[in-house]
């Protein structure tokens, strides 16, 4: 997808989302790529993501669709990174809603380096 840029380095997948990306597009991207990420940690950079059009139905749909894909990465951590206050708060809310539904831990952070610290040193042994 043109609105999501992905890099893979040291067993960490980093997906950077543009401002014109929608939550359904992210859902589709996760569904298409989750098997390829089976042995990797994932970081979503949501600094530019536009949460203006997100409502509770959109979030429920996102969690429902991506729940199945989460089974491909059971036990591996996913981090969502957002610098601005509003995006950080929205990613925290999303992570709390997804916490019990996903097969892996998910957390919100302000910067990628803190997210990588959360992954821990064992990310080199995947």
Delineate the domains of the chain, giving CATH numbers in brackets: 4-125 (3.30.750)
pLDDT of residue 88: 95
pLDDT for residue 70 = 80
Going from the first residue of the chain to its last (126 residues), give the mean pLDDT of each consecutive group of 10, the final group possibly shorter: 89 95 92 91 95 86 82 86 94 84 87 94 50
Residue 5, number of CB atoms within 10 A of its CB: 12
pLDDT at 1: 65
Q: Do 72 and 102 meet the contact criterion of CB atoms below 8 Å apart?
A: no
Question: In the Cβ-directed half-sphere of 53, how many Cα atoms lie within 13 Å?
Answer: 8
Supply the pLDDT for residue 50: 92
User: What was the pLDDT predicted at 125?
Assistant: 46
Q: Is 6 helix (H, G, I), strand (E, B) or coil?
A: strand
């Amino acid at each position: 997808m043109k609105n999501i840029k992905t890099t893979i380095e040291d067993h960490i997948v980093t997906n950077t989302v543009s401002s014109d990306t929608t939550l359904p597009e992210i859902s589709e991207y996760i569904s298409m790529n989750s098997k390829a990420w089976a042995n990797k940690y994932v970081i979503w950079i949501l600094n530019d993501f536009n949460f203006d059009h997100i409502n509770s139905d959109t979030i429920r749909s996102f969690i429902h669709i991506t729940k199945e894909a989460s089974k491909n990465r059971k036990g591996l951590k996913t981090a969502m990174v957002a610098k601005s206050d509003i995006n950080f708060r929205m990613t925290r809310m999303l992570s709390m809603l997804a916490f019990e539904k996903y097969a892996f831990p998910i957390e919100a952070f302000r910067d990628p380096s803190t997210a990588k610290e959360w992954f821990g040193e064992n990310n080199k042994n995947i």
